[in-house]
Structure 1
Amino acid sequence: MWLCERQVKSGGLNGRPEKLPDVCYSWWVLSSLIMIDRVHWIDKGKLVNFILDCQDKENGGISDRPDDAVDVFHTYFGVAGLSLLEFPGLKAIDPAYALPVDVVNRIFLGK
């Protein structure tokens, strides 16, 4: 239950109680929920909207929160979170490795 309590009213996720939401937790919390088959505990649509609200539509990239400066870390984990949420046009990502599923399959299964 602790994981589902990380979603705040804005739809974003935080890392601990009383903290602001941060796009990177769209990866850390969401991937954990997926691995324990409990993603239904959160509102996925609100999380998608939070991540999209954090993007810089003019210059590209994703920030930790809306209207903050973008950086590579939050851009990567924001896109990874969107992939876990099955956002259209993104390749599937492995929730344990934070890599595309086809890459994980090539590395570990030789496929």
Structure 2
Amino acid sequence: MVHIDKHTQFVFGLDKHKDTFEYWVTEHLRISGVYWGLSALFVTQTSDVMDKPGIVDLVLSCQNADGGFGGCTGHDSHLLYTLSAVQILMLCNALDRIDRERVIQFVTPLQKADGSFAGDQWGEVDTRFSYCALSCMSLLGALDRIDVAAAAKFVVRCQNWDGGFGVVPDAESHCGQIFCCVGALCIAGALDSIDVDRLAWWMCERQTPSGGLNGRP
């Protein structure tokens, strides 16, 4: 049995502990945290009690001059938080509050020659960022502004001999990366490029005796 009221109270309480160490050391995750919390409330059908105008104002305060969004007000732009910001605005029916073109112009230069995406101006490449870029551009109706085929080919190269996916080619397989890679390929219309049997076996082997799933062997 799921206690919806307790879940709702927990989510609402997350922003009421501003005197704690944990609250401030997670500041860089603020926008993603808002997205996770808001999504939980949508799933439990309790999102109507959220202060959506306040949430939208917070998101808008995180947009920088380069068009991207930081994890909190005053933080540098990154693909992770740009996607979270766009997702929040979609959930709040407020995507018209931002300049769509500015966001697109932040995302497009982050694609590399091999189809991969850097997360920000500093150049770190990760399949999470491929998913973020494809998802963000899809929500903005701008997939035609990036090289989707090249992006898909890079993600496919990240599938390992064991069936899982890593952050880059030949990196360790992990469930978090698999979520991002499968999601990216779905958006790119390239799910048929996956070795499904190998991936399915790897995923099945993640289940533990307790019934839960782990992220890696």
Pick aligned residue for 2:80 from 17, 20, 24: 24
Task: State the partner residue of 1:84.
Answer: 139
Offset at residue 26 of structure 1 (A): 2.2
Counterparts of 1:3-14 in structure 2, within 5 Å, are: 3-14=59-70
Paired letter, 1:39: L
Counterparts of 1:8-87 in structure 2, within 5 Å, are: 8-56=64-112, 58-66=113-121, 68-87=123-142
Helix, strand or coil at the partner of 2:137: helix
Runs (5+) with no aligned partner, structure 2: 1-56, 149-179, 188-217
Tell me which moved more, 35-44 or 65-74. 65-74
C-alpha separation in 1, matches of 2:99 and 2:68:
10
Distance change (3 Å), C-alpha of 1:39 and 1:32: same
Offset at residue 69 of structure 1 (A): 2.6
4+ aligned runs moved over 3 Å, structure 1: 98-101
Task: State the partner residue of 2:166.
Answer: none
Structure with bigger helix share is 2
Normalization by structure 2: what TM-score? 0.40
Offset at residue 15 of structure 1 (A): 1.2
Offset at residue 60 of structure 1 (A): 1.4
RMSD: 2.0
C-alpha separation in 1, matches of 2:96 and 2:82:
14
Runs (5+) with no aligned partner, structure 1: 91-97, 102-111
Paired letter, 1:21: S
Q: Is the 8 A contact 1:55 1:70 kept in 2?
A: no
Q: Is the 8 A contact 2:69 2:78 kept in 1?
A: yes
Normalization by structure 1: what TM-score? 0.74
Offset at residue 17 of structure 1 (A): 1.5
Q: Is the 8 A contact 1:12 1:50 kept in 2?
A: yes
